[in-house]
Amino acid sequence: MSWPKRARAKWLPVALGLLGLALAGASWAQGPYPPGPPPYGQAPGPYQQAPYPYPYPPQGPAAPPQAWGQYPPAQAPAPEETPASVRRALHLGAETARVTSLHPRSLAPLASNLLENFEPRLAAAPGGSLELDINGPVIVEEPPFSDLTLVNNPQFGATLAGQVDRALPNLTENELAARQRRILAMISQAGVGIARDFQSYDTRRWMVEPAPGQFDYGRSDKAVRDAADLHIIFIGRLGLHMGGPGAPEGPPADEQAYLRYIASAVRHYAGRINVWSTLKEPEPGPRNRPGNDPGLNPEDVVRVLQLSYQAIKATNPRAVVYFPGLGPLRNSSYTAEDYLERIIALGGARYFDVLGYDAYVSDIVESARKCRELLSKYGYDKPIWAAQAGAPDRPLNLPMRLMGGGSPRAQSEFMVKAYVRAFHEGVAKVFWGEFIDRSRGEAAYRPHPIDANGLFYSGTWEVKPAYHTHRLLAAVLDRFQGVEELDDNLYKFTFARRGPVYVLWP
């Protein structure tokens, strides 16, 4: 059997790989953390709890029942029907292969050999010909087979890597810090190598500058230290204003004060934070959400990008400046594409090193192509990261249409297809968002349907099937050198020191 003539290769630039290695600052492959006791006073739920390697203090008195908002009691997902199988044929360079479905058979425990949560099998391939009946994504490995242990892969990112402390009023400062560390340990155990949006432990201005010119990095210091211990690259995030969630919208009123804040933060984290994020989902109109940057017309965005970029580079010339892109626009005459094009046309792309994009409600590959085409139109060639992509593990009633999911199996399948297709398109990193399902924890403070995208529950620390899928995929694709599309829904990843890996689905 010969490969279709339309097979093509997309090779990631060597420079991106070197950048990932430099930023990681630690070994790529880390052994499993030892198991620990379950959280105090909490019974196992329908999903299995992940082991936790650090002491975790008991929580304070339970909040009144009404404090948990609109969320129903935790319940197991409805049974799923097994889809019909489809026969696929492959031509290998070996006469045997290891075949593994990417939907886990078991959620407990988190094994040191990642394949123990799956059902790998050896398959004969006489003359290199292999035929499989599959009903979902699978990986096929040629020998020599790798030992699949935990890898913190810097191409696999997490969006939402922190908790909102004000949603947990019964915990002390030490208990809050331990809980936040546990969140990062859970993210690390999923194979994540880079993360953003640390919530109460972030470096946004209103969190680290309580009074003009006075800086307090106590909370963010804890998260930066914990992330480094857990082999996660911490993306520092800049904020425009002081004053908390009720801060003004629009550009900073005092540019010099804003520049002093940036210089202080970048200097404070020299050698510890090497990636800085400027602006999150800017838009021209108002938006009642403190995590984003509304009230900015395209000219404002370019000015903020310029100020931020120049201040970061003046303090740390080697820092990577990341513009994570746009979300859906509200109360605006612009479309998201027109708004971004105007920003780039005005020279905004001179003031970031990497462009991100949102793939919640748009195809992850089509969106990457649009970003690349837009940059190319104005003479720019920049790395592209998928700033947030995800799918829920249960049905949601939303005004927007997500790109997949709706059940645990569908969430896992969406993840595999999104990551594989994005890497083939040349997207350097993909961030799953939101990584934490807070619907059994602090979501009473900020209930949000995108919590269903999370791969584990904060508060009960139960992992979902897609948590294991992410964990295995991050290890399987660690340090791939190239990826080819061999046929519809069939991709071949190649490596320097091990045999090729094929990822395919019906």
Residue 220 has which token pair? 């963010």
Closest CA to 53 of 188, 201, 153, 228: 188
Mean pLDDT by 10 residues, the chain (506 residues): 40 39 33 27 35 32 28 45 88 96 90 93 97 97 92 97 90 95 97 96 95 96 98 97 80 97 98 96 74 89 98 98 86 85 97 96 94 98 97 80 86 98 98 92 67 93 96 97 97 94 97
- Interatomic CA distance for residues 121 and 100, integer angstroms: 7
Residues counted in the chain = 506
Give Cα 430 distance to the centre of its chain. Answer: 6
- Interatomic CA distance for residues 70 and 379, integer angstroms: 49
Which CATH number is 277's domain given?
3.20.20.80
Neighbours of 240 (CB within 10 A): 26
Query: Which pLDDT score, from 0 to 100, does residue 82 have?
Result: 74
Place of tokens 């935790």: 74
Q: Are the C-beta atoms of residues 356 and 278 closer than 8 Å to each other?
A: no
Q: Are the C-beta atoms of residues 102 and 139 closer than 8 Å to each other?
A: yes
Cis amide linkage into residue 210, ω under 30° from 0: no
Residue 282 covered by a domain: yes
Residue 476 covered by a domain: no
Residue 404 covered by a domain: yes
Residue 420 covered by a domain: yes
Query: Which pLDDT score, from 0 to 100, does residue 488 have?
Result: 96
Bridge partners, 15 (sequence order): none
Maximum separation of any 2 CA atoms in the chain, in Å:
72
Query: Which pLDDT score, from 0 to 100, does residue 443 have?
Result: 58
- Interatomic CA distance for residues 110 and 124, integer angstroms: 29
Domain limits for position 448: 153-469
Query: Which pLDDT score, from 0 to 100, does residue 147 have?
Result: 84
Helix (H) or strand (E) holding 413: helix 408-424
- Interatomic CA distance for residues 469 and 31, integer angstroms: 18
Helix (H) or strand (E) holding 473: helix 465-476
Q: Are the C-beta atoms of residues 165 and 458 closer than 8 Å to each other?
A: no
DSSP 431-443: EESS-EE-TTTGG
Give Cα 436 distance to the centre of its chain. Answer: 10
For 117, which DSSP code?
G
Query: Which pLDDT score, from 0 to 100, does residue 271 have?
Result: 96
- The structural domain count of the chain equals 1
User: Could you give the C-alpha distances from 160 to 128, 192, 284, in angstroms and in order?
Assistant: 44, 12, 24
Query: Which pLDDT score, from 0 to 100, does residue 68 have?
Result: 25
Give Cα 214 distance to the centre of its chain. Answer: 32
- Interatomic CA distance for residues 370 and 170, integer angstroms: 46
User: Could you give the C-alpha distances from 111 to 33, 186, 469, in angstroms and in order?
Assistant: 10, 14, 13
Closest CA to 226 of 188, 269, 264, 271: 188
Residue 216 has which token pair? 């307090």
Residue 371 covered by a domain: yes
**Alpha helical stretches, state H, 128-248:** 173-189, 205-208, 218-229
Query: Which pLDDT score, from 0 to 100, does residue 158 have?
Result: 98
Residue 28 covered by a domain: no
Query: Which pLDDT score, from 0 to 100, does residue 269 have?
Result: 98
Give the full edge-to-edge strand order of the sheet including 462-463: 48-49, 462-463, 456-457, 436-437
Q: Are the C-beta atoms of residues 231 and 24 closer than 8 Å to each other?
A: yes
Residue 326 covered by a domain: yes
Neighbours of 62 (CB within 10 A): 10
- Interatomic CA distance for residues 249 and 382, integer angstroms: 29
Please state the pTM of the whole predicted model. Answer: 0.85
Query: Which pLDDT score, from 0 to 100, does residue 17 have?
Result: 40
Query: Which pLDDT score, from 0 to 100, does residue 80 have?
Result: 67
Residue 347 covered by a domain: yes
